[in-house]
Every structure is written in C-alpha cells, then in structure tokens.
C-alpha cells in the first residue's frame, strides 16, 4: 500500500490554505496535482537547455532532443507498447481522438458503416464520431449501461456486428467510475473485423495498462490527469495502422522532402507531430511517469480501491444521497458522482468550496449520460494517490452541512 502521508510531502500545493482551511483536493478526474519533481523538470528545461528539438546540432538542441525523445520511450514502457514510434505526442486526449477520427476515419469509414460507442462516453469520445458519421453517412450505435452502472456486455455482443468498423469506448467512466472490460471488447471487435480505440484519459492514470495484453488498436490519454503538466496528450497506435494513415496536420517537421508541388512525409512518429512541439511539458511528463512507476500502478490501484470503498460507505451514511455507478469499488475507479436530496449540484460545489474542498459540479461533459440518469448534473468527488480518509471525512461533514442548510428546500 502507498504511504500517503509521505507522498503528500512531494506536492507543494497541498500545503495551501484557503480562507484559513487546508486545501482538500478532490477534483482529480479533471486534473491531478503535480509533484515537485515535475515542477522542477519544467523550470529546469527553461533555465538550462531551452532549445528547439530535432533541428539543431548545438549542445542545448541535442540535450533537449534527447530529453524529449527519452520520454517517448518512457511512455512506450509505461503502456507496454511494442515500439516507441507507436507513441504520438498531441496536446491532449481530445486531440489524439480527433487525429484518429480525421486521419483513419476519413480514409476508412464508408456509408452504412457502424461506429459502436458506450452510453457513458465523454463528449471528447462522442463528438468526433458524431461529426465523422454525419460526414460519411455512417451510423453511431451505443452499448447501454445496466442499472448497476456497468456496461451491458450481453448487448455489446449483439451490437458489434459485421457492419461495425470501429468500437470507441472509455476505459473508465468519468461519471460512473465504471471500469470497462476493454480486453473483451477488443476480442469482440476484432472477431468482426473492426478495430478498437480506447479513451484512456481516466483509466491510464489509475490502472496498470498493457496495450499488448489488451490488444487495442488505438489508446488516447492525457498527462495532466496523471501528475504531468497540461498540454501533453498521447496517442498510441499499432504500427500498421499509423503507417497507412495520412497526416493529421501539415507544415514543418512532419515532412521529409519538399518541392513546390509535392512533399514526402516523415516516418513515424514525426509524421503526426507537425510544428514545434510542447517540449518543456513533454520533458516534465517524464518525471510524472517516473513517479508513478516508482509507486507501482498496482499499488496506485489498491489505494484507490481502499479510499473509494471508504468513501462509498461513508457517504451512504447521509441516507438521502444518490450515488451513481457500481457499488463495488473493485468495479470502478476513484470517481464518485452523487446528488444530495433536492440540493442543486452547484450549491453542493459551492458549500464544499467554502470549506476549502475542491469537487466538481455539472454534467462533466457527459450530457447524454445525464439524461439517461434523469438528472441535470451531479457533484463529483475524485481521488488520487495523495488523498486520505481524513479528507473523505471532511467532505462528509461539508455534505452534512449542505443537507442541513439546503436539503429540505426544493431547488428552483
């Protein structure tokens, strides 16, 4: 198990006080906090070897290039990919998904094809496929969620057919916390000749991932949700697929040879990395991967199960609380979306904020799922490696206060 109190010392922001109260950060599904090693790596680049990569032969350019490309290898190892050229740096998971939709999708989706999604997708893994389906006269098909908050795999078996060209699903719901059976879905997709893309924005920071074991074709995730800086996304893709795909953006760096009337593209992975990269943040992302690797992702997961189990049991003591998603913490991540009595989610968020507790309130970029749940939105607490049971207790106290003040007043 993790030594949470020791871990907390590595995160300077957790020492912050807001209105005389110690910060309780429970908004990790939106973005995680950063350890000092990540912050130091970011400033260290600018202080010591700020230079563009892949272009220069002077000392700092070579140092920056080596540091940047070493992170690509770290990512490869972290997700157990076959080759580092299968790792593409993007701005975020959203851009990674859009890259596949634009490049692979426009070349492969034909009229009448079906794209299978789950009913709990984040807008980032819905809107690109909506647009593609409209442009290509294809059809979106949705795997429903059971009353227990799990993906209905019996329905999945029926919905993934010979018409399916792509299955695009989250690895972990950012609302329900539901962990998707990716390996089983990959088998279903491949058996019908389809490929599978996984939105790993919530899953990769919390679960040990092997793209080889899962046999996924594409995986997208963001470093800022796993201790790294903002502005760095990752797209993993199988070599054969990436090689066949046209570039997503064009310009400098992604070309090999250029004439006035034509150009040849660079080899992987640089074919998909046009322009000057987000060098500093990629380099700092390497320290985030180092940090998580040192902790061990199995330990990260064990801690998450422990604190989520405690939180689910503690919050249930309120009685008039609705908690969404699986009741078993082993089937979900450290994300708990909830509503209390008739209190609007934003009021819950504000009362928590007044107690220096950071939670999220709203539809969480999952408006279709909110309609399925028959709610306008929820409050959401989400945990990570530095959260402890004392913070869950503080959240519980804040929710008791909200219920006391607002719980019996109908919201209008």
How far is 79 from 75, CA to CA, in rounded Å? 6
Q: Is the pLDDT of residue 56 over 90?
A: no
Per-residue model confidence (pLDDT) at position 405:
74
| DSSP code string of 52-96 | -SSS--SHHHHHHHHHHHHHHHHHHHHHT-S-GGGEEEESSHHHH
Q: Alpha-carbon torsion 209, 210, 215, 216, what sign?
A: positive
Non-local CB neighbours of 131 within 8 Å, separated by 6+ positions:
101
Are 119 and 372 in contact, with CB atoms under 8 Å apart?
Answer: yes
Q: C-alpha distances in angstroms, 64 versus 51, 255, 271, 290?
A: 6, 20, 20, 18
> Hey, what CATH class is 4-29+297-405 in?
alpha beta
Q: Is the pLDDT of residue 111 over 90?
A: yes
Q: Which percentage of the chain shows pLDDT scores above 90? A: 91
Please give the average per-residue pLDDT across 49-62, as a whole number: 93
Half-sphere exposure in the Cβ direction for 43 (13 Å, CA)? 4
Per-residue model confidence (pLDDT) at position 266:
87
How far is 244 from 256, CA to CA, in rounded Å? 16
| pTM, entire model | 0.96
CATH domain 39-293 topology: 3.40.640
Task: Work out the widest C-alpha separation in the chain, in whole angstroms.
Answer: 72
Per-residue model confidence (pLDDT) at position 333:
97
**269 phi and psi angles, rounded to 5 deg:** -90, -5
Residues annotated as catalytic (active site), given as ranges: 365
Domains of the chain, residue spans: 4-29+297-405, 39-293
């Amino acid at each position: 198990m993790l030594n949470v109190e020791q871990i907390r010392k590595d995160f300077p922001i957790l020492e912050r006080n807001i209105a005389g109260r110690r910060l309780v950060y429970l908004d990790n599904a939106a973005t995680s906090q950063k350890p000092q090693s990540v912050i130091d790596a970011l400033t260290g680049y600018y202080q010591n070897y700020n230079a563009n990569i892949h272009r220069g032969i002077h000392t700092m350019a070579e140092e920056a290039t080596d540091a940047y490309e070493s992170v690509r290898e770290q990512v490869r190892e972290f997700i157990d990919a076959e080759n580092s050229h299968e790792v593409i740096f993007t701005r975020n998971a959203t851009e990674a998904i859009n890259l596949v939709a634009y490049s692979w999708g426009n070349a492969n989706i034909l009229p009448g094809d079906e794209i299978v999604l789950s009913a709990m997708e984040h807008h980032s893994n819905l809107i690109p496929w909506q647009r593609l389906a409209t442009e290509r006269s294809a059809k979106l098909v949705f795997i429903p969620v059971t009353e227990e908050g799990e993906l209905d795999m019996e329905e999945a078996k029926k919905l993934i057919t010979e018409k399916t060209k792509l299955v695009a699903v989250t690895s972990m719901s950012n609302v329900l916390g539901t962990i998707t059976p990716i390996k089983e879905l990959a088998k279903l997709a491949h058996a019908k000749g389809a490929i599978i893309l996984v939105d790993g924005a919530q899953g990769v920071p919390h679960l040990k991932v092997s793209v080889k074991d899962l046999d996924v074709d594409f995986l997208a995730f963001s470093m800022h949700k796993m201790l790294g800086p903002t502005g760095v996304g990752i797209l993993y893709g199988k070599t054969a697929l990436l090689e066949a795909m046209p570039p997503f953006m064009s310009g400098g760096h992604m070309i090999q040879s250029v004439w006035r009337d034509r150009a040849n593209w660079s080899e992987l992975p640089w074919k998909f990395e046009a322009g000057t990269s987000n060098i500093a943040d990629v380099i700092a992302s390497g320290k985030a991967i180092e940090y998580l690797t040192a902790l061990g992702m199995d330990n990260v997961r064990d801690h998450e199960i422990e604190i989520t189990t405690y939180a689910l049991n503690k919050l249930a003591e309120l009685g008039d609380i609705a908690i969404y998603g699986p009741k078993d913490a082993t089937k979900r991540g450290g994300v708990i979306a909830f509503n209390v009595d008739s209190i609007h989610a934003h009021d819950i968020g504000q009362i928590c904020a007044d107690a220096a507790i950071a939670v999220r309130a709203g539809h969480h970029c999952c408006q279709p799922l909110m309609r399925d749940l028959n709610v306008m939105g929820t409050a959401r607490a989400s945990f990570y490696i530095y959260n402890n049971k004392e913070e869950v207790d503080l959240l519980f106290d804040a929710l008791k206060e909200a219920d006391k003040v607002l719980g019996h007043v109908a919201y209008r």
